Chains A and B, each alone.
Chain A
Amino acid sequence: MSPGAGTALLAAAAAVALLTNRLWAVVLLTAVLLIVCLRAPASRRWPYLIGALTSGLGVLLISPFLWSSGAGTLLWEGPTIPVVGTIDISTDEIQQAAVNGFRLAAVGLAFAAYALLLDHDRLVGSARFARRSALAVALATRLVPTLERDAIGLRETVRGRGVEISGARGYAKLLSPLVAGSLERASCLAEAMEARGFGQPGATRQPRPRWTRIDRVVVLAAAVVVGGAVLWR
């Protein structure tokens, strides 16, 4: 399958996850995408999987406390907090939290599969329009493992000076230097790209493999799945 068709399929999976309100559908989608992601090498996949699954779990655990549906069976009623109101949990809220949690996990896993398994170079090469945008997306995708490496380096630097980092606040303090470091990298990369003629008019491309029948079928199937999700939520 070409990366273009693969991207279409993953984008369709993410769109379906966002469109459908059926719990079984998003659970199934999440499970399938997780299996797909497990095909990537273990050393590369774990930050993506942790990111996708913990954010989904976070929504599942926290969101029932933050809104009140007024429907379903009331399971627990807590204190009344100013502005927020009465904290309670009902079966309807849990059901909706589960849908939203799996929805987020599915979107995250679709991105993980895109980042881990597709050939971004071929994707950029096959872009018939907006090639610069496609390249920007590919570069941003590659930034994830670089950020992970930089985060480990920053943590090690601070520990190496005899300062222990603990808790969310401790790690949050590393966000600003992490961003500053990635901006510095981006500036160096932009300079290197300009030195290699990026942006010149008249650029050409290596001949790329043509789309196969499977690619066309996959893209068509992706469109049908999204259409189905729109009609049958």
Chain B
Amino acid sequence: MALAVVSDVSYAYPDGADALRGVSLEIEPGEVIALLGPSGSGKSTLLRALAGLVPHFHGGRFAGRVEIAGLDTRRARPAELAGIVASVFQDPEDQVVMAIVENEVAFGLENLGTKPAEIAPRAAAALDQVGVAHLAGRRTAELSGGELQRVCLASALALEPHLLLLDEPTSQLDEDGATAFLAAVADAECAVVLSEHRIERALALATRVLYMEDGQALVDAPVAEARRWLAANRPRYSAGAEETLCLSNTRSGDEPVVEVDAVSFGYGAGRQVLDGVSLIVRRGEIVALEGANGSGKTTLAKLAAGLLEPTAGAVRRIGRATYLSQDPGRYLVKETVLDEVALGVDGDRTRARDALDRFGLGFAAARHPRDLSSGERERLGLAAVSVSEPDLLVLDEPTRGVDPDRMAEIGALLVAQAEAGQAVLIATHDRSLPAHRRIRVGVEVTDAF
């Protein structure tokens, strides 16, 4: 008997558009399903429907039927499904309830009425299972994103669910954090539905693929068959799409837009993040900053953009620089999408409207920025820093949590900006973003080519 049965489910959120359209599938115990598709294709909504959060938490119009272990989600509330289904969401910071790690893992067990004497051992076992037993007594506020997301996974696995739902759980993590997280998922002894933009990793883990677009399941097939379909029909989702992309035409003769000269920097009384680092970015050039977490990529990017002042050395810039921070969708300051973009050009709505059109967001000009999807917010952030046509465009992890289609769009956009004469500096883990040079940031800065 199938663990979960989704029968002809359609759903629309209270504010309008259809998020799911006639989706049907069955999930067998122990299966690992890679849930693929562009942003806004209905992946998150399907996961929420499997957890009962749609329609109970979100409201809206729901048609069809979802049964989890024989329970109809129209009647069973999410809290009633919690022992059978467990979810891990995109941003670990938005799902942590307790202040201490072991209490966080125990929270769900307490809610489910687990015998008090069993709670601590089960929490400890779950932390051990995902390789973070050493964090048990730590404060959740002091953990890195990767550590915290693994604690969230432990919290989910502690419930001993039959079905584990993972909604882009690595989108906010760096490379090492994502690898450790997915390794822990591989050891989970339950059915898993994994929505993930790092396609190759998801496919390596999965036994089956569900590809969605416009709220519909286009492909539901074993991995090998799905790979063939993706290669033929959605090549950006197939193997090889994540390869390093190097631009060949070097810009060594062009004018430097920013020169970072023997710069050092440390936060407060802490250790030096950068020590005697030098870097030049020329007009028309895309330079990617690479390196492990804490290596100083973001700090170097902020110094180049003028958001930080070096403690030693000098930064020389020609013209105007703008900077797009990590997770720009969280930091939105205006009431409409148009005003959000116009902020960078002294309220010039004509230029803002042009920028929105360029980024495919013209339709959303009058909407509140927080009503946009996560992918649309990312593009809004890019539009907001590009609108003033700066001489230097500095981007911090612009493809984090972005689907392959949007990734390709961002890549094309950066090339266009560079060809128009802008210098582009990107702090990124993502080697599929095009760049003329890749620089590895550490105590010393070295060319990665």
A-B interaction? yes
**Chain A at the B interface: SS class:** helix
- Produce 1/0 per residue, A137-176, CB < 8 A to B: 0110010011000100110111111110000000001100
- Set of chain B residues within 8 Å of A153, measured between Cβ atoms: 325, 327, 330-331
Identify the interface centre among A124, A145, A153, A157: most chain B CB within 10 Å of its CB. Answer: A157
Q: Is B370 an interface residue (CB 8 A)?
A: yes
Q: Which of A135, A142, A191, A198 contacts B53 (CB 8 A)?
A: A191
Known A121-B98, A160-B305, A160-B324; contact A200-B343, beta-carbon cutoff 8 A: no
- Size class of the contact patch on chain A: 35 or more
Check if A161 sits within 8 Å of B95, measured CB to CB. Answer: no
Known A162-B320, A200-B82; contact A121-B343, beta-carbon cutoff 8 A: no
- Set of chain A residues within 8 Å of B325, measured between Cβ atoms: 153, 156-157, 160
- Set of chain B residues within 8 Å of A203, measured between Cβ atoms: 110-113
Q: Is B32 an interface residue (CB 8 A)?
A: no
Q: B86-135: which have CB < 8 Å to A?
A: 86-87, 89, 91, 93-95, 97-100, 103, 106-108, 110-117, 119-120
- Size class of the contact patch on chain B: 35 or more
Please name 10 pairs of A and B residues whose Cβ atoms are closer than 8 Å in the assembled complex, sorted by A.
A121-B99, A121-B103, A135-B97, A153-B330, A161-B385, A192-B95, A194-B78, A199-B79, A206-B106, A207-B117
Q: Is A72 an interface residue (CB 8 A)?
A: no
Known A119-B99, A197-B83; contact A163-B344, beta-carbon cutoff 8 A: yes
Q: Is A202 an interface residue (CB 8 A)?
A: yes
Check if A200 sits within 8 Å of B79, measured CB to CB. Answer: yes
**Chain B at the A interface: SS class:** mixed
CB distance from B185 to the nearest CB of A (A): 17
Q: Which of A124, A135, A150 contacts B331 (CB 8 A)?
A: A150
Q: Which of A192, A196, A199 contacts B94 (CB 8 A)?
A: A192
Check if A194 sits within 8 Å of B94, measured CB to CB. Answer: no
Check if B344 sits within 8 Å of A197, measured CB to CB. Answer: no
- Set of chain B residues within 8 Å of A184, measured between Cβ atoms: 370
Q: Nearest CB to that of A181 among chain B residues? A: B330
Q: Which residues of A contact B (CB under 8 A)?
A: 119-121, 124-125, 135, 138-139, 142, 145-146, 150, 153-154, 156-163, 173-174, 177, 180-181, 184-185, 188-200, 202-207
Q: Nearest CB to that of A41 among chain B residues? A: B142
Known: A135-B97, A162-B344, A173-B333. 16 other contacts (CB 8 A): A121-B98, A142-B99, A159-B323, A160-B305, A160-B324, A161-B388, A162-B388, A181-B332, A190-B57, A196-B108, A197-B108, A197-B159, A199-B79, A200-B111, A200-B112, A204-B116
Check if A197 sits within 8 Å of B112, measured CB to CB. Answer: yes
Give CA–CA (A206, B106) in the complex, Å: 8
Give CA–CA (A185, B112) in the complex, Å: 24
A-B residue pairs, 6 tightest by C-beta: A197-B82, A160-B323, A197-B111, A192-B95, A188-B94, A161-B344
